[in-house]
Amino acid sequence: MNPTSIMKIMNAKNKFTENHPKFSAFLNVLFSRRIEEGTVIEITVTRPGEEPMTTNLRVLQSDLELINELKDIAG
């Protein structure tokens, strides 16, 4: 990955954190501990004027392996 792309990503991450400090703090607490197999992750999306949609997933070993691969790629 070239330095310009890294800088763009870092600037976007900083802007996201500035715009959504509670969500960023939530993610920091969440990822301060290892996510274990069997953990349930649930997400709800509410679009303006629409009913909320919710789904969840139970983390599998293969999910943890994917996360580790992505971490390795990101450095």
The predicted pLDDT at position 75 comes to 64
Q: What is the pTM of this model?
A: 0.67
**Once rounded to an integer, what is the mean pLDDT over residues 12-20?**
94
DSSP assignments along the chain, one per residue: --HHHHHHHHHHHHHHHHH-HHHHHHHHHHTTSPPPTT-EEEEEE--TTS--EEEEEE--HHHHHHHHHHHHHH-
The predicted pLDDT at position 73 comes to 79
pLDDT mean across residues, the chain: 92
Q: Cα–Cα distance between 75 and 71 in angstroms, integer? A: 6
Residue range 36-54, pLDDT digits in tens: 999 999 999 999 999 999 9
